[in-house]
A = this chain, B = another copy of it.
């Protein structure tokens, strides 16, 4: 299919630019127009999702060719994007050692260390000298190693004894044994460690690769930092989607089908909507107050949204700090105190603004009837209350979710806002009843 040697006028750069707006068929077609050499680079640089789209559109022999061009971890990722039937078919077409590697990788959850790792790492023996080890690595380098930056020292049962950086090996006296050069207090990831945790580990220790080890201490593969950049982006996107009150999309926005997108959004919108009907019910309880002082109704959106806004600030701060490992479960009390203070200060600021605004309109336009000044005080007091409730709810919800074993990032800003809205209505009208009883009401 790929027109090797023939000039078609379509460059990889052109294709990359229009890529996001193409559908699966157009992508395969465009890809087939690339010159062979460009196509190889281009294919490598695609996400597993895009690679799978292309492979699905190609015919038998082309299909095999492109699948085989990938490293085993990338091939496993691609296969996991396909229908089970096509997946089995393609897996069978790999050569036996690669098939074995790929199948082993697919046994791991895609977002575990095991699902991220490559089994092609550089291995040496502790009794080799630096020079022997370098020669041994030089032979391995001819195969497809993921990185030679670190060499892993294994015993005969594949247990990981130590790690030596290639640079150390390279700079050492040629006859020093590996045993003396390797570090045996290395950082490693268990094969079932979550990818977010793996990313944190790599970033914290500024490593280029991390060995993945099973429960028996046997080396299974390495996770390299370039895979982690994708993980971090992916997790940030997932968290952003959840923070906006929807399920995270699995594919790029423009590639997600309309039905899929509406479904992922409608679930949360419905939950939030049902939550908001509680606000309507809460307001129903105060219908009499509203009837005798319609002016009260005007400030309801102002009050509930101020609570929601301050709550969503807090919940985002806490979720992000948890994602970065800055905040642990045991810090809840510290956060609660901090947010109580923040809430009081922010509430006071908004209360002052609200007071000034209503008093001004009342004084100059007589906008709010006989008891405008009392209404101003009610609104201001409610603002302090609702902002404090907002910050405290926003601060605690991620902890509650984490304690319950759920993802703290599900404490989306709109979810917090909806929780706070009901309390906002109750606070506001209760205060109104107290402050205005006998006069306006």
Q: Which of B262, B326, B417 contacts A346 (CB 8 A)?
A: B262
- Contact A298 B280, beta carbon cutoff 8 Å: yes
Q: Nearest Cβ distance between residue A266 and chain B, in whole angstroms?
A: 5
A392-431 residues at the B interface, CB under 8 angstroms: 413-414, 417-418, 421, 425
8 Å CB contacts to B: which residues of A313-336? 313, 315-321, 324, 326-328, 331, 334
Which residues of chain B have C-beta atoms less than 8 A from A167's C-beta?
Answer: 141, 145, 148
Chain B neighbourhood of A274, CB < 8 A: 353
* Residue contact A245 to B312, C-beta cutoff 8 Å: yes
Q: What copy number does this chain have within its complex?
A: 2
Expressed in whole angstroms, the minimum distance between the Cβ of A48 and any Cβ of chain B is 12
| Residue in B228, B243, B266, B302 whose beta carbon sits within 8 Å of that of A244 in the complex | B243
A384 CB, min distance to chain B CBs, angstroms: 13
Chain B CB within 10 Å, residue with most, of A137, A320, A346: A320
- Interface pair A302/B316, CB less than 8 Å apart: no
A199 touches B302 (CB 8 A): no
Q: Taking the complex as formed, is A100 at the interface, i.e. its CB lies under 8 A from any CB of chain B? A: no
- Given A265-B342, A297-B290: A309 touches B414 (CB 8 Å cut-off): yes
Contact A346 B265 (CB under 8 A): yes
Which of B206, B290, B331 has a CB less than 8 Å from the CB of A294?
A: B290
Within 8 A of B (CB), among A100-159: 137-138, 141-142, 145, 147-149
State whether B239 touches A225 (Cβ < 8 A).
no
Q: Is A237 an interface residue, CB under 8 A from the partner?
A: yes
Find A316's partner among B166, B170, B240 (CB 8 Å cutoff). Answer: B240
Residues 276-287 of chain A, each 1 if its beta carbon lies under 8 Å from chain B, else 0: 110110011001
- B229, A317: Cβ atoms under 8 Å? no
Residue of B nearest to A254 (CB): B326
> A229: which of B228, B290, B316, B421 is its contact (CB, 8 Å)?
B228
CB atoms of A265 and B229 under 8 A apart:
no
Asked whether A367 is an interface residue with its Cβ less than 8 Å from the other chain, the reply is: yes
Minimum distance in angstroms from A113 CB to a CB of chain B = 16
**Once the chains bind, are A254 and B166 in contact (CB under 8 Å)?**
no
A269 within 8 A of B: yes
Taken together as a complex, chains A and B put the C-alpha atoms of A319 and B243 apart, in Å, by 13
Interface residue SS majority, chain A: helix
Identity of the chain B residue whose Cβ is nearest the Cβ of A277 in the assembled complex: B357
Question: Which bucket holds chain A's interface residue count?
Answer: 35 or more
Interface string of A238-269 (1 = CB under 8 A from B): 01110111100100111000100110011011
Are A207 and B232 closer than 8 Å at their CB atoms? no
Inter-subunit contact B305/A269 (CB<8 Å): no
Give the residue name and chain of the B residue nearest to A287 (CB). B294
Contacts of A334 in B (CB 8 A): 21, 254
- Return chain B residues, CB-CB under 8 Å to A245: 309, 312-313
Partner of A306, one of B141, B269, B284, B300: B269
| A280 contacts across to B, CB distance below 8 A | 298-299, 301-302
| Pairs A-B, 4 closest by C-beta atoms | A236-B236, A244-B316, A253-B321, A297-B297
Other than the given A21-B334, A147-B208, A290-B297, 4 more pairs (CB < 8 A) read A141-B167, A240-B316, A244-B317, A305-B414
A-B contact pairs, 14 of them (CB 8 A): A142-B171, A166-B166, A206-B226, A232-B232, A232-B233, A269-B346, A269-B350, A270-B350, A280-B301, A284-B298, A290-B294, A291-B294, A300-B300, A305-B417
